Structure 1
């Protein structure tokens, strides 16, 4: 398999277990690599690690260990830089709030009425409808922006 199709992500626990199982069944490193879309050397490295440690987990990463634990982080009096680092570590990025229309009860009622009305339209009537997308573009208008910290998945959550 060409090398450009192989990914450089960390090998998942599931793939490590599969690789070790296939090796124990007598498959070659190259055959296992082709099946799991990994290089032969990656498969060999993971199987050697399993044989040394008898565990599927990674070795501990090098580097200075964190001073605070997750439990300590909940009760910290911390500097703004530490808070920023912890928020980014938890994937809470600085985002511009999405402008959402606030719907009143009347708006919701009117929308439902409209939907019920057009639900039964025939195809010939729908073909006469012109859909347009109007958009106001402001270049670099920063004064009206509201910035918040959210994960990408929380983009449209109501506050």
Structure 2
């Protein structure tokens, strides 16, 4: 009986905090997206954030790319979950005119029958890429990995 009262009290406190936080902060606005991306904006070295294991994608002027530790698949929400990483090369292209979608990058891997799609968005006027890694194990969920261009020279 005491445990039930404690559990109900904890639930009410949680709901109250969520309601206050939601009304105080308002709803989250979607990230602004560019209308189009140019070839010159894409060529270079793109670094993923540390939470993803700091992957690197090098987009070259001839539409080839190489990647180091590119995250492919998360093994799921377990304490020792790991990301499957792919270091490979292949071809890339940017897509600007896909109806209803923001501009995005397509990576097609040379030695793997796999494509990766990375949409673009703007943060403080800077072009960024957003990769989503699908988790397989346990309950499937998406894991986001953000990339920023750190150099216009892919070999830097």
TM over 0.5: no
Bigger strand share: 2
Larger radius of gyration: 1
TM bucket, shorter chain: under 0.3
Instruction: Normalising by structure 2, report the TM-score.
Output: 0.22
